[in-house]
Structure 1
């Protein structure tokens, strides 16, 4: 099991919309993530900077960021593109973070 962390940035004043959309996460997207080894996925919000901090526990080599060619993921990215920083293909601008401490 590996732990993956990355950050993204939300557009100003979009926290409630972001939260609502994730509270109503599409069942097919959740199924896809779990089928691809994502067993835990948390996203935290920093009010001061509008930075989203994401954390995943993943079995295997990849996480949600490695599903770029999946149509469900592309549809989700299009759905979220109006409220966060995205790349030209509407994928979230996502910056991997290095783990520097872990306590069990």
Structure 2
């Protein structure tokens, strides 16, 4: 399992809309994420700075990288473009974070 984390920015007036859209995540998007090795995916909002912190666990980096080029992912980017900071291709402006510490007790005998 590979952990990934990143930050993005949502428009100040669109916090509730961002959450609403994710609560109604399209079934085909969920399927595609699973098909691209996503085991877990969470996004957190820091309201004061409009920053989104994304955290996901994936099976494989190469498989995950292919997600960006799927039709449903491109459609999702187009759908979210009006409420986020985005690149010219409508992908979210995203900065990957380096994992500097992990403490995992899932497989521990402690």
TM-score (norm 2): 0.90
- Give secondary structure in 2 for the equivalent of 1:14: helix
Q: Distance in 1 between matches of 2:83 and 2:74?
A: 15
Q: Distance in 1 between matches of 2:65 and 2:7?
A: 12
Counterpart residue number, 2:26:
26
Q: Distance in 2 between matches of 1:63 and 1:54?
A: 18
Relative to its length, the structure with more helix (as a share) is: 2
Q: 5+ residue gaps in structure 2?
A: 105-110
Are the equivalent residues in 1 in contact too, given 2:6–2:53 (CA < 8 A)? yes
Where in structure 1 do 4 or more consecutive aligned residues deviate above 6 Å? none
Specify the structure having the higher radius of gyration (Cα). 2
> Mapping of 1:63-78 within 5 angstroms?
66-78=66-78
RMSD over aligned Cα atoms: 1.3
Q: 5+ residue gaps in structure 1?
A: none
Counterpart residue number, 1:9:
9
Q: Distance in 1 between matches of 2:17 and 2:101?
A: 32
Count of matched residue positions in the alignment of Structure 1 and Structure 2: 104
TM-score (norm 1): 0.95
Counterpart residue number, 2:107:
none
- Give secondary structure in 1 for the equivalent of 2:16: helix
